[in-house]
Structure formats: structure tokens, C-alpha cells
Amino acid sequence: KGIFLYFNFLCCFIDCQLYQFHYINEAKNWTEAQQYCREKHTDLVTVTNMKDMKRLINISAGDQSGAWIGLFSEPEFKRTWHWSQSEVSNSGQCAMTEFDGGGRWRNENCDERKPFICYDDKYILINKNKTWEDALIYCRDHHDDLVTITNMDQQRAVQQEAQFASTDYVWMGLSYACTLDLWFWVSDEVVRYKNWALDGPMDDCDMSGAMATKGNHQWCKKDDTEKFNFICST
């Protein structure tokens, strides 16, 4: 059965800026559209609340055929749907939005070729459970890097993403170097701004920094081999 859901689109404020939506009037299959969005923007669009439907429809430039969004189901799990930012499609069923149908979603074969909608953001939550090193590799392969936090504004922006994680902590790009006896950001930024929990960091080897996804979103040191969701910069 098709999925027919009315929706209004994401309108989220980070650093007082709206996410930017980009309607791409090029015919691509869902996987090609995902790759395009990740290379030139952040990802295919993700919907998290019921706002701003009119803005989404207006960017279609009069196209009435609809466009891919970042939602898909894997062939072996047809009733389980995932957002693009957390998974990679395996040519199952993918979702499009209908511009002439009040913004309803409809599932289509992922190999169909359609226009699509990308979005831009500074940070993206990845709902995959990975070790710190694997998270670092994933961010560098698919986006820019594991997130760096150098001030309170960045902290607020990252914790906006962290609150939607499925784990109690999310990895950041913060790690401890035993040989140098210091904490460092993988982006080479100096660790000046700090938001450690009350017990503070412990200078142990094989430890990296993670942000709590609840409460005050403070930082904690965690063993590199633990597996959490993580946040990439884009």
C-alpha cells in the first residue's frame, strides 16, 4: 500500500537562521539524488515537524509532478521507513511529495527518476551506532568532519540536533592524545570553550568526548569503543 500522509515541512531555527531548502529540477533516481544533495548541500530533506508546507510547495517553481524527499524503506523491511541521514538506500521503496496533492507523501520505486529537494544545515545527526573512530571516518567520507564546538552558539546548535538521537550520548570530534597529554578537536581547533560535566574530563588513553543527549547536554569522556549516534559538520 502507498503511504499517504499530509505533512507540513521542517521549519527549524539554528543560530536564528532557517534551514534552506533547494528544489533541484533534475531527473535522478533516489540514490543519485541523495548523492547530489550530500555533495552540494547537506542531504535530501528530512521532515521532523508540521510547519512551513507552503514554503516547501513554493520552491517547486510550478512543477506539479512532485519530488523525492529523504525517506525510504529497505526491500527486506517494507514496513520500516528510514530518513536519508541515518541510512543508505538499498533500492526498496522511496518517498516523494506531491505538489498537486496538498503535500501528501507517496511511495515509489527508488529507481524512478524525479526532481528532488535538498536542504542545507551546518550540522547533521547520524542515527547510526558507531565507535568514535568509525564515526570520524563516516563523517569525513559523507560530510565534512565530526563536529567541533568552540563557543556557546555552536553548543546550542549541536544540542538541537543531539536531542533527537537514539542513544544517551552522541560522539563529537573531541579526543584525548596520551602522548601529548591534552584534549584536541579533530578540526585542529584549540579546546578553549568547554562544557564538561561536573566530574570533568579524565585524562585516560583511548577516550573521546561525547555530548549527553538529555539534560544540560554536557560533555563526558567515553571509551572510544562504545557505540553512539554522532553529529557531523557539513
Q: Per-residue DSSP letters for 166-185?
A: SSSEEEEEEEEETTTTEEEE
- Residue 147 confidence (pLDDT): 96
- Residue 51 confidence (pLDDT): 63
Q: Are residues 39 and 115 in the same domain?
A: yes
SS3 state at 46: coil
Instruction: Taking residues 15-24, report their average pLDDT.
Output: 66
Q: Would you say residue 191 has pLDDT above 50?
A: yes
Q: Are residues 104 and 131 in the same domain?
A: no
Q: Would you say residue 7 has pLDDT above 80?
A: no
Residue 18 in any domain: the answer is yes
Residue 7 in any domain: the answer is no
pLDDT band for position 80 (50/70/90)?
Answer: confident
- Picking from 173, 191, 188, 178, the residue whose alpha carbon sits closest to that of residue 136 is 173
Final residue in a domain of this structure, among 120, 145, 178: 120
- Residue 28 confidence (pLDDT): 96
Q: Would you say residue 1 has pLDDT above 50?
A: no
**Cα(100)–Cα(59) distance, rounded to whole angstroms?**
13
Residue 5 in any domain: the answer is no
Q: Are residues 131 and 203 in the same domain?
A: yes
Q: Are residues 199 and 100 in the same domain?
A: no
For residue 215, what is its C-alpha cell? 539534560
More confident residue, 231 or 9: 231
Final residue in a domain of this structure, among 96, 120, 144: 120
pLDDT over 70 for what percent of the chain? 76
Q: Are residues 136 and 229 in the same domain?
A: yes
Q: Are residues 139 and 178 in the same domain?
A: yes
Q: Would you say residue 186 has pLDDT above 90?
A: yes
Residue 133 in any domain: the answer is yes
**Cα(128)–Cα(139) distance, rounded to whole angstroms?**
11
Residue 2 in any domain: the answer is no
Q: Are residues 86 and 177 in the same domain?
A: no
Q: Are residues 46 and 92 in the same domain?
A: yes
Q: Are residues 17 and 104 in the same domain?
A: yes
Q: Are residues 93 and 53 in the same domain?
A: yes
Q: Are residues 93 and 40 in the same domain?
A: yes
**Cα(200)–Cα(89) distance, rounded to whole angstroms?**
40
Residue 105 in any domain: the answer is yes
Instruction: Taking residues 168-179, report their average pLDDT.
Output: 94
Domain that holds residue 201: 123-233
Model confidence pLDDT, tens digit, residues 96-139:
888 765 677 888 999 999 999 998 878 989 999 999 999 999 99
Q: What is the CATH number of the domain that holds 162?
A: 3.10.100.10
- Residue 203 confidence (pLDDT): 65
For residue 113, what is its C-alpha cell? 527518476
Residue 49 in any domain: the answer is yes
Q: Are residues 113 and 93 in the same domain?
A: yes
- Residue 202 confidence (pLDDT): 64
Radius of gyration of the chain (CA): 19
Q: How many domains does the chain have?
A: 2
pTM of the model: 0.62
Residue 3 in any domain: the answer is no
Specify whether the CB–CB gap between 94 and 110 falls below 8 A. Answer: yes
More confident residue, 170 or 92: 170
Final residue in a domain of this structure, among 76, 102, 120: 120
